[in-house]
Chains A and B, each alone.
Chain A
Amino acid sequence: MNTETKQEATAMHMPAEKIVPQSDLYTRETTTVRTPDENPGPVRVSARDVSVFYGQKQALFDVSIDVPEKSVTAFIGPSGCGKSTFLRTLNRMNDTIEGCRMTGKITLDGADIYDPSLDPVELRARVGMVFQKPNPFPKSIYENVAYGPRIHGLSRSRSELDSIVESSLQKAGLWSEVKDRLNEGGTSLSGGQQQRLCIARAIAVSPEVILMDEPCSALDPIATARIEELIDELKQNYTIVIVTHSMQQAARVSQRTAFFHLGNLVEEGPTDLIFTSPVEKRTQDYITGRFG
């Protein structure tokens, strides 16, 4: 497949600004600098030597990382560094991109998520995703949340479904704002509310892991603060991985931070350490705004 068609295929699934022309700078590098937590928690998601190719081009080089459960792990790095690409391997979203190929191993609770016998739809219920732009279905608020539990057969009756919808909206901090207008369209909500609706939709199928790809970049500061507050609450019960361009956001919401650059995982460690005394010079140059 030629590059143009590949890019078109990519463009269908990724926002245009994410497609960065690849240069020769993308090469495999030496090992990642890792600083473990003082008291490491149990690992939920584990990636080993994950490489991703878009056609002939390699976008990710041998990324290995453990994501601890019930905590927030942030992926940071400049555009085109591979952080979103890597995030999307965690629930096999890259499967939908034509010409995208992946090597290496990713396990969820010890089980290989690329096992051919595993249904990607089932996987995506266990590993939910929230995108940059809120993308509610063109249906009612109620239906947006009820859709997932319904297709996954998580409820036996209407009342059970009602309670899933209510508890999901509550967990997403949206219930009090929408409880009287559940039948109105999801798109009638404000941007921040729509994003919380999408989070409620992700939560409704009882996922174990929630992936967030720049969930606040289309929101104003107040809506952003509410999402960050929500992320902080959600981490009590869920394992969260967030990609963000806002370094301050990564510093605020995450417990661990991984810095990607040119397709390599450069450094990963406790967020407190990454933002006060990073080990790698490139990490330091990036987070302090000295890049390029």
Chain B
Amino acid sequence: MGHTVTSFDEDLNAIDRLIHDMGDLAGEMVVSSTRSLVDTDAALAQRVISDDTIMDARQRELDDRAITLIAKRQPVAQDLRSVVSAIRMAADLERIGDLAKNISKRVSAVGEGGAPRSLSHSIDAMAQLVVAQVHNVIQAYEVRDAERLKLLRAEDEKIDIQYTGIFRELLTYMMEDPRNITACTHLLFCAKNLERIGDHVTNIAENAYYVTTGMQLPLYRPKADETSVSG
């Protein structure tokens, strides 16, 4: 049911649209950044870096709109939850943009040699999984699907498992041949960034779940990143 004051709905919709746009942009940036690193594509890397400026601008716009809406409308209940959570989700999406930018910045550092194809297969697969998570969480938020959000949060475990695998794999390559160390270290940071992006998706899922149900998910979250133990 819409608000009696329709401009209230318009204000809320504008905020939701920004979340949607930021989600799309974040997904694109994650794909492109990993691509640019794996293919040593400097032009693509540059695009990701400039996309991050757009992302920052959108976050600021969302913050402004949300604060103005709170000041003007004094939202309560579901409205208040969605405005406050939008601010938080935008912050997570903005961080996802930063992490993608960080991956792209490594393209020049990996340098002329580039990352050997054989090293980047797993990263590619991990990136795809992460991107799917980013898209799914925004979609599930748009249709306010609490069950799917809960599942998405649990699925972060898959990303963590992949990260652990990549960590071990890259370690092996580095031990095999020290000339791999530079490229592998950058790929390792890339994998770490992807894993962090997964954590931000988890945060978004938790916030979206709260918007939808008014309840917080339990604090416990599956954790399968074992690098701290195995490393």
From B79, B81, B215, residue with most partner A Cβ within 10 Å: B79
**Contacting B77 at CB < 8 Å: which of A248, A275, A291, A292?**
A275
With an 8 A cutoff between CB atoms, is B76 at the interface?
yes
Q: Mark A252-287, 1 if CB is under 8 A from B, else 0.
A: 000000000000000000000001111000001101
| Pairwise interchain contact A289-B77, C-beta atoms closer than 8 A | no
| Pairwise interchain contact A278-B3, C-beta atoms closer than 8 A | no
With an 8 A cutoff between CB atoms, is B189 at the interface?
no
| Pairwise interchain contact B77-A277, C-beta atoms closer than 8 A | yes
Chain A residues whose CB sits within 8 angstroms of the CB of B74 once the complex forms: 248
Chain B residues whose CB sits within 8 angstroms of the CB of A284 once the complex forms: 77-78
B105 CB → nearest A CB, Å? 41
Taken together as a complex, chains A and B put the C-alpha atoms of A248 and B70 apart, in Å, by: 13
| Pairwise interchain contact B4-A276, C-beta atoms closer than 8 A | no
Chain A residues whose CB sits within 8 angstroms of the CB of B1 once the complex forms: 285, 290
Q: Mark B66-84, 1 if CB is under 8 A from A, else 0.
A: 0000000011111111000
| Pairwise interchain contact B4-A291, C-beta atoms closer than 8 A | yes
Taken together as a complex, chains A and B put the C-alpha atoms of A248 and B74 apart, in Å, by: 8
| Pairwise interchain contact A276-B80, C-beta atoms closer than 8 A | yes
With an 8 A cutoff between CB atoms, is A182 at the interface?
no
Chain A residues whose CB sits within 8 angstroms of the CB of B143 once the complex forms: none
From A278, A285, A288, residue with most partner B Cβ within 10 Å: A288
Q: How many residues of B contact A (CB 8 A)?
A: 16
Taken together as a complex, chains A and B put the C-alpha atoms of A292 and B3 apart, in Å, by: 9
Enumerate A216-272 residues with CB–CB distance to B below 8 Å.
247-248, 251
Chain B residues whose CB sits within 8 angstroms of the CB of A285 once the complex forms: 1
| Pairwise interchain contact A287-B214, C-beta atoms closer than 8 A | no
| Pairwise interchain contact B5-A276, C-beta atoms closer than 8 A | no
Taken together as a complex, chains A and B put the C-alpha atoms of A276 and B85 apart, in Å, by: 13
Chain A residues whose CB sits within 8 angstroms of the CB of B77 once the complex forms: 275-278, 284, 287-288
| Pairwise interchain contact B4-A287, C-beta atoms closer than 8 A | no
Taken together as a complex, chains A and B put the C-alpha atoms of A123 and B37 apart, in Å, by: 81
Give the residue name and chain of the B residue nearest to A247 (CB).
Answer: B76
Enumerate B1-18 residues with CB–CB distance to A below 8 Å.
1-5, 8
Given contacts A251-B76, A276-B80, A278-B77, contact A288 B3 (CB under 8 A): yes
Q: A290-B1, A290-B3 are in contact. List 15 more A-B contacts (CB 8 A).
A: A248-B74, A251-B76, A276-B77, A276-B80, A276-B81, A277-B81, A277-B214, A277-B215, A278-B77, A287-B76, A287-B77, A288-B75, A288-B77, A290-B4, A291-B4
Q: List 20 A-B contacts (CB under 8 A).
A: A247-B76, A275-B76, A276-B76, A276-B80, A277-B77, A277-B81, A277-B214, A277-B215, A278-B77, A284-B78, A285-B1, A287-B77, A288-B75, A288-B76, A289-B5, A289-B8, A290-B1, A290-B4, A291-B4, A292-B4
